[in-house]
Amino acid sequence: MNQMIVTGMVLSTAPIAEYDRRVVILTKEQGKIAAFAKGARRPNSPLVGTVNPFSFGEFTLYAGRSSYSIQSVKITNYFSELRNDVTAAYYGFYFLELADYFAKEGNDEREMLKLLYQTLRALVSEAISNELIRYIFELKAFCINGMAPQVFQCVVCGNEESQLKFCAIKGGLLCVECNPEQMDVVALDNSTLYTIQYIVSSKVESLYSFKVSETVLKTLHTMMKRYCDVYLDKKFKSLDILNTLG
């Protein structure tokens, strides 16, 4: 077997057999991988507490013929603050689920991992609202995975000057001339338009550095809900729980 060390974050974990766990990790080097943590459910196992969701650090793995096994883990951040805030924790679980949905094995997922890490840092810092963090994460995740909406000009004619509205089905902004019936559009004021343009064009490290008004937040909610409804073909359990929590 070949040993390797990867840097990543645990996205999910599930019990296997009597004492083992199957762990899904988003890594910088190998994309999304699944690995087995043997004995991790034993109280005296050195892996107890290191293979839980949100755990970020270095994972030493053995690569077998058909699977990986976790030998040891060096955690640098548990994001333990989420244990004390149920609502923030389920926002975090939603971000993990969405990252798991997008990420692929063997793919270059460095930007997705960076986005996930910076998003969780913003979540525990409480500098901006959880709701705004969610819409930033959703929109940037689409961008990283090649599904960014066109937010700088009309998707049909390229007009940048006309009054533009957001259309999820068309994949971005539409001018009045290209959508005369005004069907399935979200009106954007200048502040909201600037906000989404900033999210799409900025580096991950600069995303969580601003606040918005309640009006902009409500528009982002409507816009991202429609976009997710159109382009995500999965229901997320954590999001259902968040909606229940209100």
- What residues does CATH 2.40.50.140 cover in the chain? 2-77
Q: Return d(Cα 129, Cα 116) in angstroms, integer.
A: 16
**Percentage helix, strand, coil for the chain under 3-state DSSP, each rounded to 5:** 40, 25, 35
CATH number of 91-245: 1.20.1440.120
Which amino acid, residue 95? F
Class of 2-77 per CATH?
Answer: mainly beta
- What residues does CATH 1.20.1440.120 cover in the chain? 91-245
Provide the pLDDT for residue 1.
Answer: 54
Provide the pLDDT for residue 143.
Answer: 98
- The alpha helices in the chain, defined as continuous H runs, are 86-102, 110-125, 130-144, 190-201, 214-231, 237-245
Question: How confident is the chain (246 residues) per 10-residue block, as mean pLDDT?
Answer: 91 94 96 95 92 97 88 96 95 98 95 98 96 98 97 94 90 90 87 97 96 98 97 95 87
Q: DSSP string covering 147-171, please? A: ---EEEEETTT--SSS-EEEETTTT
